Chains A and B, each alone.
Chain A
Amino acid sequence: MVLIRSRRCSYLVSMPHSNCIEILVQSLKIMKMKFNKSYLFLSVLCILFASCSKDFLDVEPKGVSTDIVFYSTLDGIEQGVTGTYASLNACPAGLHNLDMMYLAWGNFPSDDAEAGGEAGGGDITDFQMLDRGTTVPGGGNKSVSQNFWGYNYKSILRANSALNGIKSFRENNSNLDAASVAKLNHFEGEMHFILAFIHFRMVQTYGGVPIVDHVLASSEYNVKRNTIAECLHFIQDQLQIASALLPTKSQFGAENVGRASKGAAQALLAKAYLYEASYAKNYAGDDRFTGCTNTFDKALIYADSVINSNEYKLVGIDGETFDTYWSQNNSPIYPNGTPGYRYIFTVDGENSQESIFEVEAENDQQAYMISRGTYLTIYSATRNVFAADGTTSSSLGWGFNCPTEELYKAYQEGDLRRDVTCGVHKAPIYTTAGWGFMNNIATPTMMMCRKFEASPAQYWSTRGSSDGCGPNNLPYIRYADVLLMGAEASIETGNSSKALSYVNMVRKRARNGAATGVPADLTSCALADVQNERRLELGMEGHRFFDLVRWKQQDILIDQPLMRYFNGEPTTPIYCQFTVGKNEFLPIPQVEVVNTNYSLVQYPGW
């Protein structure tokens, strides 16, 4: 983008023929004196062949807002930065909120979850295909993958555009006060973080994708794929820049808790190095991963930086409980206060001390499609509930993202985290009519995820439709994740005692700080223990499939049954069609291959 494009020009100066007007006036004077038409003729010739100034065409685009208009003020830049964040929670066409897609990618193809939806297994074909491993490049009826691709690149465009704005603002304003400089620095850091964050989300989903680090000119529209390693290195570079520019969470203060902080950049750095190292370790010889190296040490450095920053804390590790709708009067669950692990997934517990980076959603009471809420809530709410008398059944949500029996059984009996992650049939649920019971009979696993649940009062919109008005944030990176990344990197670098201490911190919080109980502290820690702890702690949060892929746990992926009824007779199971070397990543949406005139090339097998 050319930022210096339309020069301001004053009206009179740019008027064409202005010199000619002068000539005309002069010649009229002469005419008056001499009545000599030859002078007139000469002046006419002057007028006719005087060149019009091209500046005349440089019209200031009044009433049309362009990036230049916005980026000429600090407030405009701030709006551009805010608009970039907004795209993280975009609600693309076809009702597929990006948060929900992230959960779908990370959960559905794994052993932990089924797509769910309307009974019969045909609701949102793309989600079902993802679940069955039958995704095709052309996409299903709603082209979820296409939206995911397009909207993520929309975020990237906005981040690049905002970076342009910051750059030109700095160039045009040399004498900025310290506060403005600081603001510009953290805006810049945030935009680099978002560039990294989105590219990372794309790499997790598609493998190597085109790196877009500037606003593309029309000559650059036929993009090419970069390798996974190139993408990860780009992500790491962006995060290094961001980390240097960004303040810490506490420096940002409570009013900026939703912003990407230094801690967020370091946590994501740890993740990016962990992924690179895992790919290098498990996929040697696979062309897709060429260039990935062993970076476990770096992953540990950045995980430790976060852990040692004293900015974060596992909520509930000191035994504290919270007042939420879960713990109100006559609540059948947590009547004495909501424990930390439950609390961090409630609307009240958003942006807690454990939060490192969340995608923010607010029920702003705006209508469908323009709301700043999320579809996550309505997607993952159970379809049907029983009222307290157990008779009437009413519809509440759409019933996607259903935990499997395998996941349920992976928890020890008594692990608080199980009932937060897996809501079984007839579990108590709060509805507009007070406490009732879940009716999960229509879900494929007879269970619903209970994370990202809100009370009806929190997500009902006064505008009628509550579809897109969900208030739940999606925690992308929380402190427990960083501790477990630290643990994994410690083991991979030979420090299992550090790993043990990190894993036991997570387990202690799972007991809400109790000295003993379930889950008990581990006495030793191997890689499998960390892997299991990630599954239990981060269940249904969109990590499992990506983890299984980077750990190359093919057995789990290949033999993962599609549906298994909880407490019910399993019908003929349909297994997920996972082909090693192919299904690790989704195909690029075919429409994009065509749009780029086939300069984008699918991985082998697709």
Chain B
Amino acid sequence: MISKLTYQSNRRSFIRSGLLLIFLLAFQFAVFAQGKQITGTVTDNTGASLPGVNVVIKGTTIGTITDFDGKYSITAKKENDVLVFSFVGYIEQSVPVANKSTINVVMKEDVQQLNEVVTIGYGIQKKSDVTGSVASVKSESLKNMPSSRADEALQGKAAGVMVLQNSGQPGSSPVIRVRGLATVNGGSPLIVVDGVSGGSLSDINPADIESIEVLKDAASQGIYGSAGGNGVILVTTKHGSQGKIKVNFNAYAGIQQPWAINVKVCDAQQYALLYNQYQQILGKKDYFTSDGTNYLNPIDNSVLKTTEWTKEIFRTGSTQNYNLSLNGGGKVSNYFFSVGFSGDQGTVKKTYNNKVNIRLNSDHKITKWLKIGENLSFTNNQVASQGERNEYSSPLATAIQMLPFVPIYATDGSGNYAYKEAGLASNIKNPLAQIEFNNNISKTNSVFGNAYLRADIIKGLSFESRFGMNYSETDYNAFTPVHVIGDTNAANASQSVAVNQYNKNTSNYSGWQWQNFITYNFEIDKNNFSIVAGTESGISKSSFENTSKYGIDIETSKWKDYSDTTGFTTDQERDIESRGYAYFGRINYDYAGILLLQANFRRDYSSKFGPNNRAGNFPSVSAGLKFSEFNFIKNLDIIDFGKIRVGYGSTGNSDIQPFLYLNSFGALNVLGYSFDGTSIKQGAALLTAENADLKWETVVTQNIGIDLGFMKNKLNFTVDLFKRSNQDMLLRKSVPLTVGYMVTNPGVELGDANLDTRPLQNYGTLNNKGFEISASYKDKVGDFKFEVNANLTHAITIIDDIGDPLVDYGNGRGVSNVCRTSNGESVSSFYGYKIEGICQESDLTWYRNIKNKKWFSVMADPNGTTTISNTSDINLNPIVIKAKNNSAKAGYYKYADTNNDGTIDASDMTNIGDPNPKFTYGFGGNLEYKGFDMNFFFQGSYGNDIFNLLKVNSFSATNGGLNWSPDLLQSYIPASYNLTDYTAYPTPVVEAKNTNTGIARMDADLSSSEFYVEDGSYLRLKNIQIGYTLPKSVISKLKIERLRVYLGAKNLLTFTKYTGFDPEVGETTLLERGFDRGTYPQSKMFIFGINASF
């Protein structure tokens, strides 16, 4: 019985595939037949001729394609033959031959694309039948973005998917967040490539991608269980198709520059003026002439020259990208093979990224019902980087700090880099020297792929087994050779390196995954069922080794030689492994394609969690109603397509390191002890507690969405509302001191004040909600075709029930705990003082010291412990000043007394900004006119704040050792700098410059305050291209099927008010976001490219 059924089904499928084969191979097979000649022209609905349309006699292998003028000629054998016309993007048409000898056909464009198929977990589904929230990005939408990485190409393309550029460093990975945050751990979506999880988007060549689907709600993510809570990104790579070999070659090359250098620093003269001012504050003599052009006591007589450090570190870089793919196949086997190379020379000197991608995807039919195949990719990635995100010592930060009149090279002719000007204290590293002596190169080789087997067992029932594997190896080397910085009389040797130093860091990742599942589709009348059930298991392992070597005597050119093991000082190793397996299932039911229901279930087992909680269940359900199928809606003739979707379910987040449920026990210097009174024995101790109950975070998601199509589905809308709640967040929690792990400041004992040794526990909730809208319009007027699309996402994330705020984030030069995550507030909000204005002299309270008869000002002091010894001291102007620590002077910031307790202290620090955007959005369009095309794409973020930490460098007084911002020239300058030393009462109305510019005097307190918080909104023209496709008549002689040339620009326009290097600051960690320590700016790129098919 089974075999009979199977036979029938195979026969049918054979016929189907045979037809397909015929269409595809039509061009290859010469048609020899006796019969009636039929000719005609195929046009589109505008009357334009359509070349390349397949014309096949139904049920036969006889076929042809239309020529460049849309004309065809075919010989029909019988009168009842039917001609089938098909062309990609158009609705297939069948026309009976009957007695006609001319058949002209107008092809209708398939604008509805309702038959578009999207990939979902362990299967595919018609887009119109999807009940979850799935964003789909097809290769057409990715191909015009000049990028060598899939994650970057995804930026702004899909509603609800936020791609944060963390850096402009070539080869750096952006951060992807689906619908904001669902957790404070990990937070990255699960990446599934060709069905196997664990791939890396940055390793995938965008040219190899067929489609990317983002699963955004529990109904769609549910089948991925404990790993799905942060969203799932499914990548499907291109596959070979039957037909003659197709060769595609794409290439572009161009230049890149920093998009802008907005950071303002003083030139030599401005610095000199400010330095004199600073000397005056200190009551010291001027150092420079009053016009700021020279030293007062000449060190040399030449006029001060400016070195523009913030420009010197940059250069005009280059970019190039080549991609060649072969695609073809026959009756048995299909293949897709591609090779890509990209090379980026970044805009900061000595940074680059070279990448090679190789992919081979093929499939083979062993029998009629058994197919095997593999998808295999290899990536070699090499990145040379310079430090960034370091407000102290990265070249980006030192370029801001370096004094402007220091020359690049020492003036003594030694050729050494200069680092300071004699007489002015400065310990800033010369950024150009840093760049020259930093040799940081990271190399990664990775192999990712899978092999699969698919058996069609009986009609509708198939079995698939996939074995995926993932291997990558990263080798990071940093080398600093012996060098000297400074002129000959430089006494400070701290900038010179006396011995070669290098650091080698290798890491390996390997993993495998095995999936087995069955799919069964069947129908009973109008009731359609689709069932998936299966198992999955996998292991992932990683190891890490870090070695530093000092003082070895090797040639600079041979520094990569590690065979010499002398001089290694540290050697840290770490191996980790995690394993898991799961059972999963899904049932889809629909009634006549109108009512759609889906239920998912997954039971996950993971070794990451405590022995008491290794298994978890993740159910989800969703439903959809295609209301446009109802007659009363159809009769309205307004909506062409309409579907409501609702979904509810739970997923998990297991994005933590394995073994955290175990205690940790370690050896540290501080645990050593002497038993003989002289030598120290190595000691070890329990450092953290075990938690056998540790489990994943559970994320409950609700989603309601609507898909609408108007104007014959030319205009499409999708709107989704979502709500997520993470209820068992993994956080570190205080336990009683008596238990023995805790101290008041955990980690201090271990030599790292930021190390948190509190045990990880499941508590705390996080609520995330928002909406997303996407819209597209597509039309054609004559030869003019256009398409526009836009998407917008709003997501807020509020954390609750975490007890004490999570505050060990956002620490940097001069500020601490700025990024604070507190109950009831947005994750990682900025925390500091609110500024009410600038403190004026008339605001101060003046006292007269009885003994020395001097006037002085103090702030109102609620504790009554001021230095006033006599109550008869005159209080001339009793205004309460809002300034920190009651020590403000005229020109300082007046901070807000937010708790109204009459004093300004740490308890007045409050929420001063939110790094999370109110909206992120993208919009773009494609225009085509005859051979010309133009496409553009904007991406932006609105309503997010950035904490510009670099301002600490350029606005703080320090000792004049850092360059200043020229804005300080506009700062408030009181009548006298030393207000504590008045011998006479100052005139209440003081002639002061710029009392309200918003810039405090240069020695003002610079605690964390609104001063640093800037609007981080931006809008970027990410990409624009103008292309021309050469007419076929021209290129056909060259045996080229299609040739397009184009000019393009990336990040051509940026609209932002932000004053740092780049508004795309990204995030350091989930709890430190929008905190700018000096981010490598994105580059503006101009390219020329070609696309050719053979």
Contacts and interface: CB of A to CB of B under 8 A. Distances in A.
Nearest to A46: B516
B992 interface: no
Interface stretch (A61-69, A103-111, A299-307, A409-417): A61-69
A463 interface: no
Contacts of A65: 664-667, 684
Given A92-B745, A366-B669, 9 more contacts: A1-B663, A40-B457, A54-B605, A62-B577, A65-B667, A150-B743, A150-B744, A221-B735, A258-B676
B743 A38 contact: no
B677 A37 contact: no
Given A62-B575, A86-B671, A92-B749, A47 B516 contact: yes
13 contacts: A57-B579, A57-B614, A62-B575, A79-B681, A83-B684, A84-B685, A153-B740, A161-B685, A258-B677, A367-B751, A370-B751, A596-B736, A596-B738
B6 interface: yes
B674 A595 contact: no
Interface string A75-107: 010111111111101111110000000000000
A244 interface: no
Given A62-B577, A63-B573, A82 B673 contact: yes
Interface in B636-687: 658-659, 662-678, 680-686
Interface in A199-252: 210, 212, 215-216, 218, 221-223
A29 to B, nearest CB: 15
Across the A-B interface, the 3 shortest Cβ-Cβ residue pairs:
A157-B740, A82-B683, A93-B745
A63 B748 contact: no
Interface stretch (A141-149, A418-426, A437-445): A141-149
A37 B690 contact: no
Interface in B1051-1073: none
B743 A93 contact: yes
A58 interface: yes
B670 A369 contact: yes
A237 B126 CA distance: 75
Nearest to B671: A83
A17 interface: yes
A314 interface: no
B757 to A, nearest CB: 11
A218 B691 contact: yes
A36 to B, nearest CB: 8
A433 B535 CA distance: 77
Contacts of B516: 17, 44, 47-48
B664 A52 contact: no
A360 interface: yes
Interface in B878-908: none
A39 to B, nearest CB: 11
Contact of A212 (B677, B683, B740): B740
B738 A56 contact: no
B684 A76 contact: yes
B675 A59 contact: no
A364 interface: yes
Interface of B: 2-3, 6, 367, 369, 455, 457, 463, 465, 514, 516-518, 533-535, 537, 543, 573-581, 605-607, 611, 614, 658-659, 662-678, 680-686, 689-693, 734-745, 748-749, 751
Given A151-B743, A154-B743, A216-B740, A87 B684 contact: no
Contacts of B745: 92-94
B741 A364 contact: no
Contacts of A154: 740-741, 743
A40 B516 CA distance: 13
A161 B740 CA distance: 11
Nearest to A210: B738
Contacts of B659: 59, 61, 64, 66
B684 A91 contact: no
Contacts of A212: 738, 740
Contacts of B738: 149, 153, 210, 212, 216, 221, 223, 592, 595-596, 600
A322 interface: no
B537 A17 contact: yes
Contacts of B581: 16, 52, 56-57
Contacts of A92: 743-745, 748-749
> Which of B580, B677, B735 has the largest number of chain A CB atoms within 10 A?
B677
B514 to A, nearest CB: 7
A257 B577 CA distance: 43
Contacts of A80: 665, 683-685
B103 to A, nearest CB: 44
Contacts, number: 267
B463 to A, nearest CB: 5
Contacts of A57: 579-581, 605-607, 614
> Which of A254, A370, A591 has the largest number of chain B CB atoms within 10 A?
A370
> Which of B369, B575, B676, B685 has the largest number of chain A CB atoms within 10 A?
B685
Interface string A9-39: 0000000110000000000000000010110
Contact of A59 (B369, B578, B669, B676): B578
A41 interface: yes
B736 A369 contact: no
A82 B740 contact: no
B1015 to A, nearest CB: 38
A351 interface: yes
Contacts of B614: 54, 57
Contacts of B749: 90-93, 369
A589 interface: yes
A157 B663 CA distance: 13
B537 A93 contact: no
A377 B244 CA distance: 86
A372 interface: yes
A38 B659 CA distance: 43
A350 interface: yes
Interface string A121-161: 00000000000000000000001001101110111111001
A362 B683 contact: no
B735 A258 contact: no
A258 B678 contact: no
Nearest to B736: A595
Given A86-B670, A147-B744, A158-B685, A592 B576 contact: no
Contacts of A85: 673, 675, 683
Interface in A569-606: 589, 591-592, 595-596, 600
A147 B749 CA distance: 12
A259 interface: yes
Given A255-B675, A259-B675, A94 B744 contact: yes
A79 B516 CA distance: 48
Nearest to A63: B575
Contacts of A62: 575-577
Nearest to A592: B737
A91 B750 CA distance: 10
A66 B736 contact: no
Nearest to B668: A370
A179 interface: no
Nearest to B678: A362
Contacts of A150: 737, 740, 742-744
Contacts of A158: 685-686, 740
Contact of A591 (B575, B671, B737): B737
Contacts of A254: 676
Nearest to A91: B749
B675 A360 contact: yes
Contacts of A70: 665, 684
Nearest to A81: B683
A2 interface: yes
Nearest to B669: A370
Given A47-B516, A216-B740, A258 B673 contact: yes
A256 interface: yes
Contact of A38 (B2, B463, B664): B2
Nearest to B367: A35
Given A16-B537, A91-B749, A372-B674, A59 B607 contact: yes
